[in-house]
Amino acid sequence: MFIQVVQGKVKDADQLRRELRRWRYELKPGAKGYLGTTSGVTPDGRAIALFRFESEKDARANSALAAQGKWWKEAAKAFDGKVVVHNCKEVDTVIGGGSNWAGFVQVIQGRTKKQAEMRRRMSEMQGQLRTARPDILGAVVAWHGDGGFTQAVYFTSAQAAHAAEAAAENDEMGKEFGDFLDGPPTFFDLAPADFD
């Protein structure tokens, strides 16, 4: 899998949402290898989108299409300043990966100096996580290539996610994951209308 992460501050969240809907209806049918998008805008105007493709080749072929370039020219007008793009060749799936049936998605961005160890432990802890957190339907972790990562966690609902987070605030898995991080992570909470 290959994930392209696109993010930035927006000046018109409604315009961005309209353009993402237009992409789904007009361009998605012709996007070879397209697996899904997780996107949204936080109340403070931070937009983030994870475009999932079967391969980097498919993603780049899609980006090269004239219709894609024309669409992006309009979508980019919704942003207020710089748009950051991470092309992620290394992707991990947790408990099956992304889910189109989630009631809530939380995107977490962070950095680690222990990427190999963190990836290994995330893989090893999947069974334990599935038992401890039935509210999690799956997750994907897109590695930026420089120690940074973007993780999307798909939950049954926001209420279930927040209740489970509060109950597990000081659990061993959470502490271990926190030990891998190089500084505090950034969170983006997304509503179900913003992903497919």
Domain edge (last residue) among 60, 88, 116 = 88
Mean pLDDT by 10 residues, the chain (196 residues): 96 93 92 91 91 96 95 95 95 86 90 92 87 90 96 90 72 75 89 56
In the prediction, which pLDDT does 165 show?
A: 75
Pair 102, 137 in one domain: yes
Q: 35 and 56 in contact (C-beta within 8 Å)?
A: no
**Separation between Cα atoms, residue 25 and residue 15, nearest integer Å:** 15
**Separation between Cα atoms, residue 61 and residue 153, nearest integer Å:** 27
Pair 57, 145 in one domain: no
Name residues whose C-beta falls within 8 Å of residue 48's C-beta, 6 or more positions apart in sequence: 5, 6, 7, 39, 40, 107, 150, 188, 190
Quote the pTM value.
0.89
Structural domain count of the chain: 2
Quickly count helices (H) and strands (E) in the chain: 7, 9
Domain edge (last residue) among 32, 64, 88 = 88
Q: Determine the structural domain holding residue 27 and report its residue range.
A: 2-88
In the prediction, which pLDDT does 154 show?
A: 92
